[in-house]
Chain A
């Protein structure tokens, strides 16, 4: 039964169209523009207080940053696998991979909480200096996106478990996946700017 509906989907030139709801890309582009503004503000402020930024950056826990980067890249991979499973109509695997992506999203939050706690215990806050203001504000705003993305993944996971992607269009799944990749992409930029840029 599923094979009949799967044929046109597989035949569709997936690479030639925008995945997910076309209009959601307005939202994603707007999000990228917003973070673009954050990054420009960071670069501009950094240029005027280079020494403060470089000194403060040394106190960041780069290991946590690297772990979180790996976590998000892996979760993006899991989402790609979930979508691939849905496209090849292997419903069992969709929820498994989405579950992995959700677990990784939660792991990202835990690492972040650990990192923030260590900073607060060391007496650092967003009022310490301009670098820490950016560090806390940008990572917290990004963290809110991770939380929202994890909620979206959980909704999709629930739907997958109920068999919602066994047949029919996969637009919802593609839309959620696109959002999650955006969250991942933004973190890669944030990681490079906050932890690495010298």
Chain B
């Protein structure tokens, strides 16, 4: 593949970031009725009633989410390649980031799939609907460590990037680590049904999810910039890898 085409695919993959963000907000958050999301303290009957009242939207929201979640994959791949260029011969962290991104897609997918199954037969015993909803929420809220690893790996490589114009500014790297750590209170969702640490609470839902999307959007901006920089440099006889030799601090 010639370089121009290759760069074009990189750019498209990087733009999958904003595409994921927008579709996630529209389908998972808004249409899927996750703002606010169902309280874990809801009784089985009330929860089942919530599905029946919003059946069409919940089905649409999560079924489309299950498709659009894959925008995260090309985005993860382009990040992997960008990190790999920095890391060089033994791209341990780049590959870790790749695994983390791939598994994040599966974690988000499976939780949405449990909710689609819950909405599939709304007339069934509400206790089963409740169990499927629980499974979905605990699936996404307790398995964040894959995403945390993805983020920490990206941040560590970003901090080691000594080029004149690095992939990520250093403050973005530290913000990334912090955003990854901000997920930890979500582990409490495995025990608590009320309060700010329950899966509908500020400290286990709103703040961590906001941090995740905040990192994702910020990283996307710098990744697109990086590809654009190399696209504009590709016409002049610079190295396609974008290295500035001899730059070290």
Contacts and interface: CB of A to CB of B under 8 A. Distances in A.
A30 B218 CA distance: 15
Contact of A45 (B169, B173, B196): B196
Given A34-B207, A41-B203, A130-B195, A141 B175 contact: no
Contacts of A21: 170
A141 B202 contact: no
B188 interface: yes
Contacts of A130: 194-195
Nearest to B185: A141
Interface residues of A, number: 20
B197 interface: yes
Interface string A25-52: 0110011001001100100010000000
B168 to A, nearest CB: 11
B170 A133 contact: no
A3 to B, nearest CB: 26
A110 interface: no
Interface string B184-198: 110010011011110
A38 B174 contact: no
B178 A41 contact: no
A9 B102 CA distance: 47
A38 B196 CA distance: 9
Interface in B37-55: none
Interface string A122-157: 000011001001100100010010000000000000
Contacts of B191: 126-127
A145 B192 CA distance: 22
Contacts of B188: 126, 137
Given A38-B203, A126-B192, A30 B185 contact: no
A37 B194 CA distance: 17
Interface residues of B, number: 22
A10 to B, nearest CB: 23
A31 to B, nearest CB: 7
B175 A27 contact: yes
Given A31-B178, A137-B188, A37 B197 contact: no
B174 A127 contact: no
Nearest to B155: A27
Contact of B203 (A26, A30, A37, A126): A37
A45 B195 CA distance: 8
Contact of A133 (B173, B177, B195): B195
Nearest to A42: B196
A130 B198 CA distance: 12
A26 B192 CA distance: 31
Interface of B: 169-171, 173-175, 177-179, 182, 184-185, 188, 191-192, 194-197, 202-203, 207
10 closest cross-chain pairs (CB), A and B:
A23-B170, A27-B174, A30-B178, A41-B196, A23-B171, A26-B171, A26-B174, A27-B178, A23-B174, A137-B197
Given A34-B182, A41-B203, 11 more contacts: A23-B170, A26-B171, A26-B175, A26-B178, A27-B175, A30-B174, A31-B178, A38-B203, A41-B202, A126-B192, A137-B188
Interface of A: 21, 23-24, 26-27, 30-31, 34, 37-38, 41, 45, 126-127, 130, 133-134, 137, 141, 144
17 contacts: A23-B169, A23-B171, A26-B178, A30-B174, A30-B175, A30-B178, A31-B178, A34-B207, A38-B203, A45-B196, A126-B192, A127-B191, A133-B192, A133-B195, A133-B197, A134-B195, A144-B184
